[in-house]
Structure 1
């Protein structure tokens, strides 16, 4: 029996035009529709497969504003058993270190957790460091960027994919892992799952309820801040090459001039 917690994130729609807030240059999440990050769906799927093979339960953990409930509902409709939602305006503008601290603190409230699964990086930030930071806070072994995961009793085995090749890695439970896009294909929520998710009420936690002191998280105490932005310049018109028998030469000259070849 393996009790799994899956970390998910509510991110802006990939197809939308993202904007930064004019006052603090943080991502204006209210200006666009959001959804559960695609890599998180794969993390949920992996947790559900482990539950189906070994028993236990799957808990969703998410930090975000009210709109993050949509992502939580999606995970619950896939088959997760319950959810915890860290929802506090004090989290606004938190960096990766602060986010990891809040998530690690919340994980400490979950009884019997043996395995934590996350995506390798979120599409709205791509820091790719939060799972490892959580592992450091909780002093847990961590296996990151896995394309394959196997749970064998108290042992985890996985394949980590890097630019240098594939590495076989191993750890002992309890542990935290992050997975990449090759780990699986997430299931579609069934009608039964969607209806069941409507009856599940996520547990909502604030910083105070987690025992996190004022000022520990949030923009003012973040290790990095954006102090200014420059709009992306409009796309310039392309250069047209008329082929008069020497089109190939002209294209090659252009590519050479741009130092592409």
Structure 2
């Protein structure tokens, strides 16, 4: 079974800072991590491989330092890793990103299952996975909390607010997984050493079949114009009085003076 996992290197959200002058994210000095949902996707792929055999390849689009994220996935147990990196890919929105990732998957050849995390914690759009499936013309299921494959039939439990929806489809398929699907394993020392020695191939725009007008900033119909931190709300006031009746009267008077009531 040929399994691909799309992963993204994202800024650690506990360390995110915004430049007040430019209203953009400050990435310099901010640690990067593997998108947490993508780790669940890697774990789901590894479990599927352990049950049915095959190969797990992790794929990412990003700058050269994204190799660190791919090496962490290799240390978890993935077999291969590929990085799509080219200045032409820069500034891509979700549509341009999905076009590039889909082109990378097409270059790999026949793929049975594609795993993605539900969403990336930096953009929170949850769009890239479904868009990849559309580019490839294959089935997709989102919010996957459980997956089983038997004789080419994929049976999944899709997480809903009030329960689970059971869906069956056929291979090939793209599945975007939720956090409750599993607990990602820790990288082993042996696999970490192997990952550090492994050479990760880098594919550029000339290596994959992409249309120049559909990648990077030029291929992005949406753009982020401004990012800002909301102003901190003023703390409320505690109404203190000897009795509840007096407290209610004091509150009513303050609300009246503020012309709220």
Q: Is 1:3 matched up with 2:2?
A: yes
Deviation at 1:22, TM superposition (A): 6.4
How far apart, CA to CA, are the structure 2 residues paired with 1:187 and 1:247? 58
Q: Is 1:19 matched up with 2:18?
A: yes
Q: Unpaired runs of 5+ in structure 2?
A: 256-261
Cα distance change of structure 1 residues 165 and 241 upon mapping to structure 2, 3 Å threshold:
same
How far apart, CA to CA, are the structure 1 residues paired with 2:17 and 2:228? 14
Query: Across the two proteins, how many residue pairs are aligned to each other?
Result: 251
What pairs up with 1:80-99 in 2 under 5 angstroms?
80-99=78-97
Cα distance change of structure 1 residues 153 and 161 upon mapping to structure 2, 3 Å threshold:
same
How far apart, CA to CA, are the structure 2 residues paired with 1:248 and 1:112? 75
Cα distance change of structure 1 residues 230 and 59 upon mapping to structure 2, 3 Å threshold:
closer
TM-score normalized by the length of structure 2: 0.87
Q: Deviations over 1:49-78 (max 9, x none)?
A: 111111111000001112211211110000
Q: What is residue 206 of structure 1 aligned with on the other side?
A: 204
Q: What is residue 177 of structure 1 aligned with on the other side?
A: 175
Cα distance change of structure 1 residues 239 and 100 upon mapping to structure 2, 3 Å threshold:
same
TM-score normalized by the length of structure 1: 0.87
Q: Is 1:111 matched up with 2:109?
A: yes
Deviation at 1:164, TM superposition (A): 5.3
Instruction: Report which of the two structures shows the higher radius of gyration computed on alpha carbons.
Output: 2
How far apart, CA to CA, are the structure 2 residues paired with 1:243 and 1:79? 63
Q: Deviations over 1:83-122 (max 9, x none)?
A: 0101112222211111110000000011332110111111
- Check conservation: 2:239, 2:247, Cα contact below 8 A: no
The Cα RMSD (Å) is: 2.4
Q: Unpaired runs of 5+ in structure 1?
A: none
- Check conservation: 1:143, 1:170, Cα contact below 8 A: no
